[in-house]
């Protein structure tokens, strides 16, 4: 029996060749889309991980003020941790931007060459591939760095610059203006001595933990590395240190010197006062001895009273007055003068010793007071004048580094989008196949009944009716899979990644789950749908199948009032063909969902581009490493600090920007409170925040959380910004009253490059803002084309099914004399209203659904989510749908012409 039935398969294929071809093309296109998107994503995810492991990707990196010594490196690596210097110098290349020059790597973050070899001589250089592609540089070309000519001997990439951002805070890659270069150690030292680097050498180190400890534990070890300012060779650092933390040292040293002097003075005075009694007693003994000698010497001359300390002057004056002997009077004067001198000496010694004692007591009080001053000043400095004295300038694990694994992260989104699109397309396939099968079985009802009546088993019939749909779907899935994995599939989808990220060329991988999905799923769907449909129809009585009896519909009982005949007929016709009509609407909705992926992508990229240009009002933004004491003339000072906030599993950077009042470059009025801020619209959109909401930002350096209330939202597209009052921000983060680290201006300022982290110009922002649009346009075009094709095929097939199912009625009307134009009005024109109303409903609904899904598709992208479209775009899409309908309608009119009155006569009972 199966041999006989197999002949009908070929006949059925010939009879419905176009239908099966269209269904096959639909499946091929769907499988191609899924396989190419998901296959490209899996290839990049798996291969970047493999290449990163091969090239010893770092577990993280850190920067220091002073290069680490050999002993410090040994101490950090004593438990099996690998550490390698990745210091660099930046050199201007004029219109070609900046080259970041490294020494050749030896153990960590090794170069993966696409072409050529590593630099082995002083005059050789290896360049990063994307920079070479953008600037048309090839192996063998010559370039100049710091005035010296270098030959390009290799082109490649490194895993630590997967996304070659110049600065970690950049929102997009601009490879035409930035790239990395690798030279020999001797060449690097020569470039270092040239003094032409845009800024001082950056001391950085990459590390691999090798499972010996965690990043946090290693970070604590690095934090313990100390340095002294004198060790830093950067003159800009020295100047900044002397002006900021150096003042603290000067004050601390001054107070210490004062305390030391007071201590020494007190010790000396205490020691001196210890001899006061001896000195006083000695002076008294001298005076008493001379007084005694004077008394004994004057006794022969009739001394009226014994000379004492209190009366010697009076007694001697009386004796002098009573004597006429001039020599004796002179002698008395001499004794008096000598006693007066000795008394004065004695009194002076007593005064001196008393003063020494009092001074010693005062010096003790002075020492105690200065000691208390020192204790309080130390406490004050520790509380309000905290200066980090460890050598660490930054610490960044690989997971937190936006340059590392960026391509794989981006492809995770594409993988998710591809699988979601696959589910959507499979739903459409399932329904379309079900409509075909139901139509085919109803058409073949009498044949099934006859075969069933002749004793053909249900198993044979199911196998027979499964054969052709399963073969078509399997072959279509196979072809779609082959094309998806061919050079027109996965490699094409990977090209967007190659055009943005700096990754090596990768061989395509073949994920087993994707092969099962693309090869088995279409056939499995066909089997399930066919089994359900055939089983249902085989349960009907044989006689009913032989007579092609249709299930009684309630449509005829529908009261349509006094509506005209044509309108009544059209409505009943659409209700009779609700399955096909629903398939058209479903196909339209799914096509619009796919279309909206591209349209939303375009809307997002365009809003980022135009918004970045409109909202960037400054011409120059200078980000300081070592701020000047005063703001340069013509500049507007600001204070920027980078914090983190998680969204949909990604921890993205948020810049808190402290502004002075009436800053001309930002249209924002900041509240004079620490906990109230104004949000940039980009951040509000991404995080779903509105006025009055409270949100938390994390400072990963200090493990501090900061809660803020949204006081307002201002239009600002270039990045995730939180605006607050600069004075409140300084107080919140413990900076002094004059601190700033960013300056905005409308013209170039004369600032030494060594003082800066980065200089951003409005021209660079404008150029970078268009990167996403340029990169995503191929995908946008593909989504629009695929959606239009799916819509066209589904609508044509379903409307053709409607006509085929109505062929009996159409032929009957032909017998009654109805002409082609009238038949078109009855059977086709009514579909216009279905399509018009369906499009009016599906268009906004598909936009709403995709808007809800889109944040997940771009969850790793640090940009706003302005997906708004102008009414003109909606109108264009709506008109395009109607144009496609009219094209299909024109094709179907020709199908009407192929139906003849004999159709009715052949099928009369």
For residue 904, what pLDDT is reported? Answer: 45
Indicate if 582 and 670 belong to the same structural domain.
Answer: no
The Cα–Cα gap between 262 and 312 comes to 44
Angle between helix 406-443 and helix 512-538 axes, rounded to 10 deg: 20
pLDDT in tens, 50-85: 999 999 999 999 988 788 888 888 888 888 899 999
Report which of residues 780 and 811 the model is more confident about: 780
Task: Write the DSSP assignment of 600-619 as a string of letters.
Answer: HHHHHHHHHHHHHHHH---S
Report which of residues 845 and 19 the model is more confident about: 845
Indicate if 544 and 582 belong to the same structural domain.
Answer: no
Number of structural domains the chain divides into: 5
Average pLDDT on 639-646 reads 89
Query: Residue 717's closest CA among 618, 611, 601?
Result: 611
Average pLDDT on 9-13 reads 76
Segment holding 406, helix H or strand E: helix 406-443
Indicate if 729 and 771 belong to the same structural domain.
Answer: no
Last residue of a domain, one of 551, 579, 596: 551
Residue 155, burial from CB neighbour count under 10 angstroms (0-12, 13-18, 19+): buried
Indicate if 442 and 540 belong to the same structural domain.
Answer: yes
Residue 399 within any structural domain of the chain? no
Please say whether the beta carbons of 109 and 58 come within 8 A: yes
Last residue of a domain, one of 750, 777, 804: 750
Indicate if 770 and 733 belong to the same structural domain.
Answer: no
Query: Residue 313's closest CA among 289, 345, 339, 290?
Result: 339
Q: What's the mean pLDDT when you consider all of the chain?
A: 79
Residue 228 within any structural domain of the chain? no
685: which 2 tokens? Answer: 């959109």
C-alpha separations of 343 from 171, 356, 779 in Å: 92, 20, 112
Task: Provide the pLDDT confidence category of residue 175 given band limits of 50, 70 and 90.
Answer: confident
DSSP β-bridge partners for residue 637: 743
- How many other CB atoms sit within 10 Å of the CB of residue 218? 22
Residue 223 within any structural domain of the chain? no
Residue 398 within any structural domain of the chain? no
Average pLDDT on 661-677 reads 89
Please say whether the beta carbons of 784 and 595 come within 8 A: yes
Segment holding 899, helix H or strand E: none
Report which of residues 6 and 110 the model is more confident about: 110
Listed as own residue / partner, the contacts of 696-704 with beta carbons closer than 8 Å and 24 or more positions apart are 696/645, 697/643, 697/644, 697/645, 697/654, 697/656, 697/722, 698/643, 698/644, 698/645, 698/651, 699/641, 699/643, 699/644, 700/400, 700/644, 701/395
Average pLDDT on 789-804 reads 73
Please say whether the beta carbons of 707 and 696 come within 8 A: yes
Residue 709 within any structural domain of the chain? yes
Q: Which of 106-115, 267-276, 724-733, 894-903 is the least confident region?
A: 894-903
3-state secondary structure of 680: strand
3-state secondary structure of 671: coil
Indicate if 94 and 7 belong to the same structural domain.
Answer: no
Instruction: Classify the C-alpha dihedral 40-41-47-48 as positive or negative.
Output: positive
**pLDDT of 908 over the 60 cut:** no
3-state secondary structure of 91: strand
Indicate if 740 and 668 belong to the same structural domain.
Answer: yes
Q: If you search the block for the tokens 């989510």, which residue do you land on? A: 865
For residue 232, what pLDDT is reported? Answer: 65
Indicate if 785 and 897 belong to the same structural domain.
Answer: yes
Report which of residues 848 and 453 the model is more confident about: 848
For residue 393, what pLDDT is reported? Answer: 80
The Cα–Cα gap between 390 and 64 comes to 9
Residue 208 within any structural domain of the chain? no
Q: If you search the block for the tokens 């990745």, which residue do you land on? A: 86
Q: If you search the block for the tokens 């700033």, which residue do you land on? A: 740
Indicate if 359 and 442 belong to the same structural domain.
Answer: no
The Cα–Cα gap between 787 and 589 comes to 10
Residue 400 within any structural domain of the chain? no
Indicate if 906 and 770 belong to the same structural domain.
Answer: yes
The Cα–Cα gap between 33 and 594 comes to 11
179: left (phi over 0), alpha (psi -120 to 50) or beta: beta
Dihedral angle computed from the Cα positions of residues 553, 557, 562 and 564, in that order, rounded to the nearest 10 degrees: 20
> Which of 358-362, 540-544, 734-738, 776-780 ranks highest by mean pLDDT?
734-738
Domain span at residue 462 reads 1-27+409-551
Name the DSSP letter for residue 67. Answer: P
Last residue of a domain, one of 516, 551, 586: 551
**pLDDT of 430 over the 80 cut:** no
Residue 782 within any structural domain of the chain? yes
Report which of residues 123 and 383 the model is more confident about: 123
Q: Which of 129-143, 390-404, 788-802 is the least confident region?
A: 788-802
Indicate if 260 and 342 belong to the same structural domain.
Answer: yes
Average pLDDT on 14-38 reads 83
CATH number at residue 715: 2.40.40
For residue 809, what pLDDT is reported? Answer: 61
Q: Which of 144-153, 341-350, 759-768 is the least confident region?
A: 341-350
Please say whether the beta carbons of 782 and 776 come within 8 A: no
**pLDDT of 574 over the 70 cut:** no
**pLDDT of 117 over the 90 cut:** yes
Indicate if 778 and 678 belong to the same structural domain.
Answer: no
pLDDT in tens, 516-542: 888 888 888 778 877 776 676 666 666
Task: Provide the pLDDT confidence category of residue 382 given band limits of 50, 70 and 90.
Answer: low
C-alpha separations of 837 from 202, 307, 401, 488, 807 in Å: 64, 139, 50, 38, 26
Task: Provide the pLDDT confidence category of residue 229 given band limits of 50, 70 and 90.
Answer: low
Average pLDDT on 263-268 reads 69
**pLDDT of 387 over the 60 cut:** no
For residue 787, what pLDDT is reported? Answer: 81
Task: Provide the pLDDT confidence category of residue 563 given band limits of 50, 70 and 90.
Answer: low
The Cα–Cα gap between 378 and 401 comes to 38
pLDDT in tens, 546-556: 655 555 555 55
Average pLDDT on 313-320 reads 75
């Amino acid at each position: 029996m199966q041999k006989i039935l197999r002949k009908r398969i070929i006949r059925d294929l010939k009879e419905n060749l176009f239908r099966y071809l269209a269904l096959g093309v639909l499946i091929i296109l769907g499988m191609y889309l899924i396989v190419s998107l998901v296959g490209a994503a899996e290839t990049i995810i798996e291969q970047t991980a493999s290449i990163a492991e091969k090239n010893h990707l770092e577990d993280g990196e850190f920067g220091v003020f002073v290069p680490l010594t050999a002993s410090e490196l040994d101490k950090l690596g004593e438990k099996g941790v690998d550490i390698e210097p990745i210091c660099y110098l930046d050199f201007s290349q004029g219109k070609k931007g900046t080259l970041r020059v490294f020494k050749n790597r030896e153990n960590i973050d090794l170069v993966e060459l696409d072409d050529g070899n590593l630099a082995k001589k002083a005059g050789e250089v290896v360049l990063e591939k994307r920079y070479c592609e953008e600037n048309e540089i090839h192996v063998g070309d010559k370039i100049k760095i710091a005035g010296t000519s270098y030959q390009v001997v290799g082109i490649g990439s490194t895993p630590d610059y997967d996304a070659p951002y110049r600065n970690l805070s950049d929102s997009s890659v601009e490879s035409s203006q930035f790239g990395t270069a690798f030279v020999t150690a001797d060449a690097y030292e020569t470039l270092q001595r040239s003094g032409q680097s845009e800024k001082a050498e950056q001391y950085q180190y990459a590390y691999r933990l090798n499972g010996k400890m965690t990043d946090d534990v290693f970070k604590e070890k690095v934090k313990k590395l100390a340095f002294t300012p004198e060790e830093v060779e950067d003159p800009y650092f020295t100047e900044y240190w002397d002006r900021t933390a150096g003042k603290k040292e000067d004050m601390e040293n001054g107070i210490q010197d004062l305390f030391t002097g007071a201590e020494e003075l007190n010790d000396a005075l205490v020691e001196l006062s210890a001899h006061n009694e001896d000195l006083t007693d000695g002076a008294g003994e001298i005076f008493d001895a001379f007084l005694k000698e004077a008394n004994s010497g004057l006794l022969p001359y009739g001394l009226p009273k014994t000379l004492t300390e209190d009366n010697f002057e009076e007694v001697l004056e009386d004796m002098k007055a009573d004597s006429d002997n001039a020599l004796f009077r002179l002698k008395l004067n001499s004794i008096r003068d000598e006693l007066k001198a000795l008394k004065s000496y004695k009194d002076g010694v007593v005064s001196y010793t008393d003063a020494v004692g009092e001074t010693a007591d005062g010096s003790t009080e002075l020492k105690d007071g200065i000691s208390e001053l020192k204790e309080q000043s130390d406490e004050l400095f520790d509380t309000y004048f905290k200066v980090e004295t460890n050598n660490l300038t930054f610490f960044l694990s690989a997971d937190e580094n936006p340059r590392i694994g960026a391509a794989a992260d981006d492809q995770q989104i594409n993988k998710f989008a591809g699988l979601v699109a696959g589910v959507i397309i499979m739903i459409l396939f399932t329904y379309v196949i079900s409509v075909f099968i139901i139509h085919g079985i109803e058409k073949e009802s009498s044949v099934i009944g006859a075969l069933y009546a002749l004793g053909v088993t249900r198993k044979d019939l199911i196998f027979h009716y499964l054969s052709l749909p399963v073969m078509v779907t399997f072959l279509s899935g196979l072809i779609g899979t082959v094309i998806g994995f061919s050079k027109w599939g996965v490699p094409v989808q990977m090209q967007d990644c190659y055009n943005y990220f700096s990754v090596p060329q990768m061989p395509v991988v073949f994920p087993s789950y994707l092969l099962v999905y693309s090869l088995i799923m279409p056939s499995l769907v066909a089997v399930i749908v066919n089994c359900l449909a055939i089983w249902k129809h085989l349960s009907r009585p044989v006689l009913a199948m032989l007579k092609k009896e249709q299930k009684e519909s309630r449509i005829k009982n529908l009261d349509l009032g006094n509506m005209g005949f044509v309108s009544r007929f059209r409505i009943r016709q659409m209700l009779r063909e609700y399955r096909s009509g629903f398939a058209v609407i479903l196909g339209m909705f799914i096509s619009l969902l796919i279309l909206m992926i591209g349209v939303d992508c375009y809307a997002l990229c365009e809003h980022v581009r135009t918004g970045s240009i409109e909202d960037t009002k400054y011409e120059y933004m200078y980000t300081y490493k070592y701020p000047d004491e005063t703001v340069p003339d013509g500049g507007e000072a600001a204070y920027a600090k980078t914090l983190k906030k998680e969204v949909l599993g990604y921890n993205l950077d948020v810049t808190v920007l402290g502004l002075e009042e009436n800053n001309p470059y930002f249209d924002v009025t900041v509240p004079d409170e620490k906990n109230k801020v104004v949000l940039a619209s980009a951040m509000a959109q991404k995080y779903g925040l509105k006025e009055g909401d409270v949100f938390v930002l994390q400072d990963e350096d200090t493990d501090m959380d900061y809660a803020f209330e949204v006081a307002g939202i201002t239009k600002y597209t270039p990045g995730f910004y939180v605006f607050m009052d600069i004075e409140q921000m300084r107080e919140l983060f413990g900076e002094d009253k004059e601190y700033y680290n960013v300056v905005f201006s409308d013209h170039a300022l004369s600032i030494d490059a060594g003082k800066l982290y980065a200089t951003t110009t409005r021209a660079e922002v404008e150029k970078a803002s268009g990167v996403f649009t340029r990169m995503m346009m191929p995908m946008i075009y593909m989504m629009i084309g695929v959606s239009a094709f799916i819509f066209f095929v589904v609508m044509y097939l379903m409307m053709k099914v409607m006509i085929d199912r109505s062929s009996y009625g159409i032929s009957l009307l032909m017998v009654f004399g109805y002409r082609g134009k009238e038949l078109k009005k009855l059977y086709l024109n009514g579909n216009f209203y279905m399509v018009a109303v369906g499009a009016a409903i599906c268009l906004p609904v598909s936009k709403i659904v995709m808007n809800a899904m889109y944040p997940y598709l771009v969850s790793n992208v640090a940009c706003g989510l302005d997906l708004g479209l102008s009414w003109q775009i909606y109108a264009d899409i709506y008109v395009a749908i109607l144009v496609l309908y009219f094209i299909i309608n024109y094709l179907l009119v020709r199908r009407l012409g192929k139906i003849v009155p004999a159709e009715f006569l052949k099928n009369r009972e």
